[in-house]
Structure 1
């Protein structure tokens, strides 16, 4: 069996490895370290959690132990797709180089440019950076890459998936052609092959596991779920997640819950905290200091549930993660391998549960096709009934219009039709048969200079335009004693006023 002492590493590096508690290298480490120490380009393909970071940090420290960095000209460069992965690589350098006088700088977003510039001005042996922040420093004239001897691209496939191809190509063009290049990735898509053929020269290819395979120590399961109604699916899905966590009981000491969208990360975290779970979100839109605090809390055990986007799927090294829950099926099948690879690390047992809704079945089929085996189905603890609880996070469906609005419209139609009908009835019926006001039979109208019929108590209001244009119904009737709408008790002075206006 190969040991670290057989790999021709610097004695000071071996001492740090021994203090860290490691004796035997992993397969990717045993295969990548020897050619790297020889100065050859390396193309390493291994599933996540197999120790790829040490595969390049250990030979880099050994080769950089001799020499001295110059101001603004780092001697080595490590490119990482995310801030978390870059920070983890920096921690590995601190662990393995503590007996070697090497300087390093970490260039990531969310940190002051001034502090980073001060480190670069002093000169660093190892520069660990994300592509965007590295190019920002270069374009500001604060950094030169002509002194780079070793260049590492960690999680290369993820770098390309995140749209970093133009940045990677530009960075390669800024480094010397004689550099040594190390590529490490969990998967190797055809486009990655094209990139490696362009930038690597006769690389030593180390492939210790079949591409995109999950660790055998991880128990996988899938729960198929369909909401009772489309507008309730999100709330019921969060309820299912809580039921799955509760079903694991004490076995679920801590867990990472992955969502596809950042907004869902926040909603799920808020929902879990509402129901008394110890949970916190982490994604790219959060402030770097908040992300660091959240990760530190999850690592030291003070935080039980970490709700994350795929920003944490790569390079998040927490050795004792008991469970991974996929709240959403990832859009890329390879991401499934990286997600569940956060558990079952270093030979430990782990469990990964994926929630599959109807719209995710196509992506789930792609995952099973990549793994080349079916994922066992798990019976849902929620028996398809409509959820009687609501997180208050989803958008409520549009409320129905109140019934009075319909009755108002129907009454409006009736009021339009009524005047014509009233005219016809008034023309055909005798005057003495006209309805009488019964609501207040003894009330007498006040004296007026002009007769204006009062509306009946049981009559519906007529349109205003008809009231103005239509003459009094009693006009032209030839009746002096009865006026339609005024009842039997008609004062004489009102009748006289009608007669005067008719004869004038």
Structure 2
């Protein structure tokens, strides 16, 4: 089936074709016709399936007819995070270029002045996070009784973030006669209740079983001690053919510390989390999209909905506390038919968390082992050769040139003392190596597999 078969206008089809798309994804194929027929729908689809376009495209055609009024948006899209709201806005700008539609973006972290000005001029499409929308509503800066169409996106994430009471309040202020669309990766009981309360005979569209993972993603678990995580991550970043990667951590402090550590080690990395203001977030995301950095360290604020092409790897530096977050995190790779690899670091204390993930996905995550390594491996028993230091993106030539320059500094009278100092340092290193258990992947040194890596 082609987009032309879905009933979209010629102007909209031109925009879709310009964006490089010809065939709709399953969720788009099933959702767009009933939306154009003004039916309520519930869309259950995993991330990366083209869900956003399944409501953006028909909304553009629906909103093409009608008159704007000050303070009274004609349609409303609710998103759980600023990043998701901004990406939906980008979709409207891209696909709506041939339509005379006015859009406003209401998100926190930016000044209200321009947002209020846009509302006063009248908007066809309002994209908002619940917090900023409630703030403006309570200030009397927005009226919701002229809204003809409502989209609640990432409903299960809204539930996780505690937004359901706000959504219930917002829905109570909307006209009863309206079209409502709800999209979610999973359908827990509170979301089912919400749909029954505020939707009218919705058509249910489920393109994949809830909580399943994308078939284009090869997922691994890496059994590793808490203290070996950073070294393990660095080894994988250098040896697993990583083009671009998103590294997720459970805490904002871990995100900051890990990003600094990667930068010190010469990696081109950036960070995004809840303590960074919106302008900085946008700038960091743009640097990642433009290729200035190829590693983005993130908290779960960025886990849902970020649509960045070409992410080859996802690393769960921490096993996610909530199993649903696992699905959404690894969904940043393997998008739009591309292949991706996802690694989850599992420390001994993460046993229950990874067990919950496997129960939810109904799938055992493969332990990363010898056969999965992407570099040439050799048996260390053949020689006591020193492991070559992997090259990093920003490793300076000066470092390589400094090493031979140090040799002349050694004096003969010092040569007897220097070995004493170096031998005093070796036992801790040997202790660490001995502490690594045998078996599958257990640390950054290629010795974790009983072999060493060569480029």
Which TM-score band (shorter chain)? Answer: 0.7 to 0.9
Residues 302 and 385 of structure 1: CA distance in aligned 2, closer, same or farther (over 3 Å): farther
**1:413-424 aligned within 5 A:** none
Residues 387 and 245 of structure 1: CA distance in aligned 2, closer, same or farther (over 3 Å): farther
* Secondary structure of 2:333 counterpart: coil
Q: Which residue of 1 aligns with 2:148?
A: 149
Is 1:200 the counterpart of 2:199? The answer is yes
Is 1:308 the counterpart of 2:298? The answer is yes
**1:464-483 aligned within 5 A:** none
**1:417-436 aligned within 5 A:** none
Write the distance in 2 (CA, Å) between the matches of 1:179 and 1:384.
69
Residues 120 and 167 of structure 1: CA distance in aligned 2, closer, same or farther (over 3 Å): same
* Secondary structure of 1:386 counterpart: helix
* Secondary structure of 2:92 counterpart: helix
Instruction: Report if the CA contact (8 A) 1:28-1:46 is conserved.
Output: yes
Q: Which residue of 2 aligns with 1:286?
A: 276
1:298: Cα distance to partner?
0.7
**1:147-226 aligned within 5 A:** 147-226=146-225
Q: Which residue of 2 aligns with 1:122?
A: 121
1:387: Cα distance to partner?
8.3
Write the distance in 2 (CA, Å) between the matches of 1:387 and 1:191.
49
Residues 385 and 220 of structure 1: CA distance in aligned 2, closer, same or farther (over 3 Å): farther
1:17: Cα distance to partner?
0.7
Write the distance in 2 (CA, Å) between the matches of 1:72 and 1:350.
44
Q: Which residue of 2 aligns with 1:374?
A: 364
Write the distance in 2 (CA, Å) between the matches of 1:379 and 1:342.
23
Write the distance in 2 (CA, Å) between the matches of 1:174 and 1:110.
25
Q: Which residue of 2 aligns with 1:21?
A: 20
Q: Give the length in aligned residue pairs.
A: 377
Select 1:241's aligned residue among 209, 213, 233: 233
* Secondary structure of 2:49 counterpart: coil
Write the distance in 2 (CA, Å) between the matches of 1:180 and 1:331.
35
Write the distance in 2 (CA, Å) between the matches of 1:384 and 1:375.
31
Instruction: Report if the CA contact (8 A) 1:44-1:184 is conserved.
Output: yes
* Secondary structure of 2:183 counterpart: strand
Q: Which residue of 2 aligns with 1:86?
A: 85
Is 1:386 the counterpart of 2:432? The answer is yes
- Structure 1 window deviating more from structure 2 (50-59 vs 2-11): it is 2-11
1:44: Cα distance to partner?
0.1
1:226: Cα distance to partner?
2.3
Is 1:340 the counterpart of 2:330? The answer is yes
Q: Which residue of 2 aligns with 1:47?
A: 46
Q: Which residue of 2 aligns with 1:391?
A: none
Cα deviation 1:245-264 (Å, max 9, x = unaligned): 1221xx20110000011111
Q: Which residue of 1 aligns with 2:259?
A: 269
Larger Rg: 1
Write the distance in 1 (CA, Å) between the matches of 2:368 and 2:432.
20
1:157: Cα distance to partner?
0.5
Residues 180 and 241 of structure 1: CA distance in aligned 2, closer, same or farther (over 3 Å): same
Give the aligned CA root-mean-square deviation in angstroms.
1.6
Instruction: Report if the CA contact (8 A) 1:226-1:384 is conserved.
Output: no
* Secondary structure of 2:366 counterpart: coil
Write the distance in 2 (CA, Å) between the matches of 1:106 and 1:353.
35
* Secondary structure of 2:367 counterpart: coil
Write the distance in 2 (CA, Å) between the matches of 1:307 and 1:53.
24
Write the distance in 2 (CA, Å) between the matches of 1:387 and 1:150.
61
1:172: Cα distance to partner?
0.5
Cα deviation 1:164-184 (Å, max 9, x = unaligned): 011111110111111111001
- Structure 1 window deviating more from structure 2 (10-19 vs 46-55): it is 10-19
**1:448-467 aligned within 5 A:** none
Q: Which residue of 1 aligns with 2:285?
A: 295
Residues 387 and 317 of structure 1: CA distance in aligned 2, closer, same or farther (over 3 Å): farther
Q: Which residue of 2 aligns with 1:328?
A: 318
Q: Which runs of 5+ in 1 are unaligned?
A: 228-232, 389-504
Cα deviation 1:263-320 (Å, max 9, x = unaligned): 1111111111111111111011101111000000111111111000111111100021
Instruction: Report if the CA contact (8 A) 1:318-1:342 is conserved.
Output: yes
**TM value normalised by structure 2:** 0.81
